Amino acid sequence: MRLSHLIILLVLNVFWAASLSAYKIIGPYLSSGGIVTTRFAMAFLCLALVWRWLPGKAPRGLDLVKTCTIGILTFFAGQRLQVYGNQIGSAGNSSVLMGLEPLVASLAAAVVLHESIGLRRGIGFVLGMAGVVLLNAPWQPNFHWPSLMPSLIFTVSFLGEAAYSVIGKPMLGRAGPMKILAVALLAATIANFAVDGRETFVALQKLPMVPWLLLSGLAVICTVVGYGFWFIAIRESDVNVPALTVFTQPVFGVALATLWVGEPAHWGQLWGGLMIAAGLIVGLSRQIKISRQPSSRAEA
């Protein structure tokens, strides 16, 4: 993976982590389904407006069917489960559970795409998971496991996220990443509006400015830029390499839940963050490629 791709993914993970707290702020005004419907409809409209300038071919034939499947699994079913699980739980617990997503994505890539995780990335995953445990502070006297249902619902949503990578990656050589994303969002928007489009439209008429701004950020940055760039990153590397960067979301997510939503902080966040950083260093070592300009002699 290129160093520039790593830096961009780390920045995007800050925004993805922030989305969990943003859902809490939007929640009083929109249902979990309404949030998903609005976010991905706005993202689709952004790409529809610039469709003619998007590079690459549109998915056709079987690839079109696969792209629509991505939309239903990721931006309809998966995201509805994720937002609902976050709404009935806490942003902090959801952030901690995000540490499981790289494992789900990597396991799916190993099974479907026959990717090899390797020793260094395996150690990186172990260190990342250890950091997630530290973030949850199991040594505290008042420690209690998150209620089963929100955690289970939130974790199941990772299957939808994994589908985005393992179904989408083989198509990237035949169709443009942003056009795949646009078609997937169209399929999801149709499904989302079929479920609760009317209720969402009524609720949006009373939506204050701050939730509108947050939804706009979720649509443009977290969806159009984020999911689009994810395709670009996995086109040039195994899925399990960029997946390691998701381990930073528990760190950012817990910190934002504390600063933004007012959830309590603890020292485990520091030690967990350091452990996750160690996991990234080990797991991504020898995976980062630094581009160098060819010398004049080589050009000759």
299 occurs within a structural domain = no
Digitized pLDDT (tens) for each residue of the chain, 300 residues in all: 787 888 899 999 999 999 999 999 999 999 999 999 999 999 999 999 999 999 999 999 999 999 999 999 999 999 999 999 888 877 776 777 777 777 777 777 777 888 776 676 677 667 766 766 666 666 666 655 554 567 678 778 888 999 999 999 999 999 999 999 999 999 999 999 999 999 999 999 999 999 999 999 999 999 999 999 999 999 988 887 888 888 788 778 877 877 887 766 666 666 666 676 676 666 555 555 554 544 443 333
80 occurs within a structural domain = yes
Q: Which two tokens stand for residue 163?
A: 């589908």
298 occurs within a structural domain = no
Question: 241: domain range?
Answer: 3-289
CA distance 76 to 160: 9
Single-letter amino acid code for the residue at 15: F
296 occurs within a structural domain = no
Bridge partner residues of 289 (DSSP): 2
300 occurs within a structural domain = no
Give me the DSSP letters along 138-190: TTSTT--PPPHHHHHHHHHTHHHHHHHHHHHGGGTTTS-HHHHHHHHHHHHHH
Q: Are 26 and 178 in contact (CB under 8 A)?
A: no
Q: Which two tokens stand for residue 184?
A: 């997937």
295 occurs within a structural domain = no
107 occurs within a structural domain = yes
294 occurs within a structural domain = no
pTM of the predicted protein model: 0.82
Number of CB atoms found within 10 A of residue 34's CB = 24
Q: In Å, how far are 18, 84, 175, 233, 273 from 277, measured between CA atoms?
A: 19, 29, 35, 20, 6
Q: Which two tokens stand for residue 82?
A: 């994720």
